[in-house]
Amino acid sequence: MNESQVMERTVSTAVQPILELKGICKYFGGIHALDGVDFDVYPQEIVAVVGDNGAGKSTLIKIIAGVHPPTAGEIILYGKPVEINSPLQARELGIETVYQELALVDTRDVPANFFLGREPTRGKAGIFVDRKKMVEETVRTLKELGISLPTLDTMVRYLSGGQRQSLAIGRIMPWGGKIIIMDEPTAALGVKESRKVLDLVLKLKEKGCSVIIISHNMRHVFNIADRIVVLRGGKKVGERIKAQTTPDEIVKLIVGADML
């Protein structure tokens, strides 16, 4: 899909969002982390959420990921109101979150991490883990996504930040996650590793997923996003189709015109 098609699709009323957040508020005591935020995700798009430190970005995606319940507001998924009460429930609803550090087990190897908690079994009673199948599936998926790792047998703790990130993204694929959330996936990565992760994000979109990505890196945002949503002080202060905006405009929205 080229940019103008994406634009047409995004502004067209014929295409319904797959996920709609309406009037979302999240208060932590007296802190209004989110204050009446509307946020949509369309099929097969990459939407970037940007904003200064403390703007409410992580809080927004944690609400979608089932980590925090909203104080007020409504979540509509595929046209139906839903409550997302836990990360497990989010996953069951087809919402996958890529955590850079938390979700990998350092002392286990690549296939073990690929299938963590969802290991295929063999034998009549299904009590034996099917290691052969795990390795085959891991190799196939890594190849399909163009992820290269030195060896599969290595403990994940020896992989670089970018390799870990690729693994965390790659292992979503076999499970058919449709909405994928990433909170600053390139924050700790160098130029080359960032590029690989961004390519993976584009690949997820190619495969039919929608991706919500938080990033402070304007170059990364403009490189991959179809749409950019700007938060400031817990409010949505702008929403732009990438082809119709500039990094300069987005930065102005982030800091607020009164700050310039």
Ligand X SMILES: Nc1ncnc2c1ncn2[C@@H]1O[C@H](COP(=O)(O)OP(=O)(O)OP(=O)(O)O)[C@@H](O)[C@H]1O
Handedness of CA 193, 199, 205, 207 (dihedral sign): negative
Task: Give, as ranges, the residues between 55 and 84 that touch Mg ion (CB under 5 A).
Answer: 58
CB of 59 to Mg ion, least distance (A): 8
Maximal C-alpha separation, the chain: 68
Q: 């499970």: which residue's tokens? A: 175
CB of 216 to ligand X, least distance (A): 6
Q: Which stretch binds Mg ion (CB under 5 A): 19-27, 51-59, 126-134, 227-235?
A: 51-59
Residue from the set 11, 12, 23, 31 that interacts with ligand X by CB under 6 A: 31
Torsion of CA 229, 235, 237, 243, to 10 degrees: 0
Please, which residue, 58 or 71, has the CB nearer to Mg ion? 58
- Give CA separation, 88 vs 18, 67, 92, 193, 196, in Å: 19, 9, 6, 29, 28
Please, which residue, 67 or 129, has the CB nearer to Mg ion? 67
Q: Which stretch binds Mg ion (CB under 5 A): 10-18, 44-52, 53-61, 73-81?
A: 53-61
43 binds ligand X (CB under 6 A): no
Chain center to CA of 233: 22
**How many positions of this chain bind Mg ion (CB under 5 A)?**
1
Backbone angles phi, psi at 80, to 5 degrees: -120, 135
> Which parts of this chain interact with Mg ion (CB under 5 A)?
58
> Which parts of this chain interact with ligand X (CB under 6 A)?
28, 31, 33, 51, 53-59
